Amino acid sequence: MDLNLTDKVALVTGGASGIGEAIVRGFAREGAKVMIVGRGKERAAIIINSIGKPSYVQYVEAELTRDEDCQKAVSETLRTFGKIDIVVNNAGVNDKKGIGEASPSEFMESIYKNLFHYYAIAHYALEALKATKGTIINIGSKVADRGQGGTSGYAASKGGIHALTREWAADLCKFGIRVNEVVPAETWTPLYETWIRTFPNPEEKLASITKNIPLGKRMTTSEEIANMVLFLASDKSSHTTGQIIFVDGGYTHLDRALTV
C-alpha cells in the first residue's frame, strides 16, 4: 500500500535506537525525509549510512531536557528540509524513580526526561504543523494504564502523554492537525534484550513474559510499532485523531484467562 508519505518531513525524537530507529527506517522506506533528534550521534550515522539516503535522513544532536535544544531541533529540521509534516515524540527512559526511593527533585528530573520534551517539541513545531496541516504521534507506554511499581516518574510522564494526546487533539483540530498515541507494551528492542540478559536464566525470564501475551505468545516487534506510526502519519488515517492505540498483542487489556 502506498501511504503517500513521499517527501513528507518527519521529526523523530530518540530515533537512533529501538522503536525510534524502526520508525525512522519505516519513513525512509516510504520515501519520507527524516530528522533524527536526540543523543547517539555514532549510532545515527550508522543508520543514515545503512539507509543510503543522506539527503533524506539527517541527525541533530539534542539534550531533550533542555528547552533551547528542543527549539534547535525544530529549527534545524526546518532549515534542512523546509517544512515539518510529522512529529513523532518517542524519546524516553524508564528510570525507576519510585515513590519510596526517589526524592521529589528526582521525580521531577524524570518528568523532564520523559514528558517535558514532548510538549517542547510540539510547541516549537506548531507553526510549521499548521502550515502543512500535519500530525503529531506520541509514543506512550502500558505503564500509564497498568502501573508497574518502582517507577513513579516514568508512569506519571506516560499518563501525562495520554492526557496531552487528547488535549492537543481537541486544541489543534481547528488547524487540521491530527494527534494520536501509539502504546507499546512488551516490545523487543536492544535495550529490552540487554535487560533480559541481566537475569541468571534469560530464556526462562523471557518465556515467563511472553506466555502472558495473548496474541501469539510473543513480543511485539519494533517494526510493528513503526507500522502503526506510519499509518497514523499517512492520509490513510485522515479522520483519526485523539486516539490511544495499543500495539501489544492484547497484553494490556485482554482477559488474563487468555494467558493461561
The residues that are catalytic are 154
To which H or E segment does residue 157 belong? helix 152-172
Measured CA to CA, the distance from residue 250 to residue 153 in angstroms comes to: 25
C-alpha cell of 138? 506520541
Sheet holding 57-61, edge to edge: 57-61, 33-38, 9-13, 86-89, 135-139, 178-184, 244-247
Residue at 133: amino acid letter: K
> Residue 27 in 3-state DSSP?
helix
Cβ contacts of 107 within 8 Å, gap of 6 or more = 97, 152, 153, 156
Handedness of CA 189, 190, 191, 192 (dihedral sign): positive
Question: How many Cβ atoms are within 10 Å of 93's Cβ, its own excluded?
Answer: 13
147 backbone φψ class: left, alpha, beta (φ>0; ψ -120 to 50): left
Distance of CA 153 to the CA centre of its chain: 17
Question: Are the C-beta atoms of residues 212 and 260 closer than 8 Å to each other?
Answer: no
C-alpha cell of 121? 517539541
C-alpha cell of 220? 511485539
